[in-house]
Amino acid sequence: MTNIKNIGRFCMNDSKGYILNDARPEKVDSIYNDLIKTVVETYKYQLQSDLHSVYIRGSIPRGLGIPGVSDLDTLCITNKELKEIDLDWSKKAEREINEDFVDVNGVEMSFFHLDHICNTTRFSIIPFMIKTHSICVYGEDLRDQLPSFKADKSLANEHIINLKNNIEQAKEDLRGNEDKEDILDCCVWIMKIIIRAGLALVMEEEKQYTRDLYPAYEAFSRYYPEKKEKMLQAFEYAINPIENTDELITYLNNMGEWMIEASEEWLLLHNPHKERNMLI
């Protein structure tokens, strides 16, 4: 069982309030070098000229990777629309890489077309992640071509707009589910969503952003002390997921419903038309 620790930090902002990217190539522990090289070579071999660039994001390029615990999240940018590319190989490649490298909890390969990254005036999570949380490990680095982002309502909206659907989907996936790994994955997934949505509810006041769970939990709790214990429970579920679907559904029917109500109030104030992607 993983103990709850005060791990993580808020992103730094510049003097104008724009989020700074603290990911650096030199922060990547050398223990991950062979893994990153293997992932890049896999992308290059499979995609050939369709490959534009590859990024890694998350704790590892920020120097916060924990061997055997952290994931290696990769973003692959393609020169062609995804529907024009055969990506059937990717899941098998993920499994094989995960079997060969035990220094990470898992490797995620994800794909996005170049046009969808660069051509936007509205908030989109992948350009945001590339700009603020990633390093380029192959190809042309797009970060300087992307807009800067603030911890404002357009970013908060990303974590709030689909909260109701996410919670309803989680409950549906948990009901009658007897697949242990599927239940654990669902538990971690929805609890991370709830914690980050908690931060989003107070982002306009905090003017800070993090994907790290502990500082997000702390920020939410400062504004909603009466819900601190319930959010702490979400944190515990996220790092120590459980198989008891009845317990999880009960939590989602309680704290989950409160979060839905709070998110609807936030949307009414900040995004009354419920735009999926708000103007930056």
> How many Å apart are CA 235 and CA 194, to the nearest integer?
9
Q: pLDDT class for 120, splitting at 50, 70, 90?
A: confident
18 in a domain, yes or no? no
218 in a domain, yes or no? yes
Q: pLDDT class for 119, splitting at 50, 70, 90?
A: confident
Query: Which CATH number is 124's domain given?
Result: 3.30.460.10
Which conformational region is residue 178 in: left (phi greater than 0), alpha (psi within -120 to 50 degrees), or beta?
A: alpha
* Residues 131 and 47 occupy one common structural domain: yes
* Residues 140 and 194 occupy one common structural domain: no
∠ CA(170), CA(191), CA(209), 5° rounding? 130
Q: Does 2 score more than 80 pLDDT?
A: no
* Domains identified in the chain, total number: 2
Q: pLDDT class for 115, splitting at 50, 70, 90?
A: very high
* Residues 167 and 235 occupy one common structural domain: yes
Answer with the one of 113, 145, 177 that is the final residue of a domain: 145
Residues 73-99 pLDDT 10s: 999 999 999 999 999 999 999 999 999
* Residues 136 and 43 occupy one common structural domain: yes
- 269 versus 70: which is more confidently predicted? 269
8 in a domain, yes or no? no
* Residues 164 and 245 occupy one common structural domain: yes
* Residues 264 and 168 occupy one common structural domain: yes
∠ CA(228), CA(12), CA(151), 5° rounding? 65
Q: If you average pLDDT over residues 13-29, what whole number do you get?
A: 97
3 in a domain, yes or no? no
Residues 136-171 pLDDT 10s: 999 999 999 999 999 999 999 999 999 999 999 999
221 in a domain, yes or no? yes
- The whole-model pTM stands at 0.92
Answer with the one of 120, 145, 170 that is the final residue of a domain: 145
217 touches 232 (CB < 8 A): yes
Predicted local distance difference test score (pLDDT) of residue 64: 87
Domain of 201? 153-270
Q: pLDDT class for 66, splitting at 50, 70, 90?
A: confident
Q: Does 67 score more than 90 pLDDT?
A: no
1 in a domain, yes or no? no
* Residues 122 and 172 occupy one common structural domain: no
Q: Does 4 score more than 70 pLDDT?
A: no
* Residues 139 and 169 occupy one common structural domain: no
* Residues 173 and 137 occupy one common structural domain: no
Predicted local distance difference test score (pLDDT) of residue 92: 97
* Residues 39 and 133 occupy one common structural domain: yes
Which conformational region is residue 129 in: left (phi greater than 0), alpha (psi within -120 to 50 degrees), or beta?
A: alpha
Answer with the one of 116, 145, 174 that is the final residue of a domain: 145
* Residues 32 and 125 occupy one common structural domain: yes
Classify 139 as helix, strand or coil.
Answer: strand
7 in a domain, yes or no? no
* Residues 35 and 131 occupy one common structural domain: yes
Residues 195-233 pLDDT 10s: 999 999 999 999 999 999 999 999 999 999 999 999 999
Q: pLDDT class for 7, splitting at 50, 70, 90?
A: confident
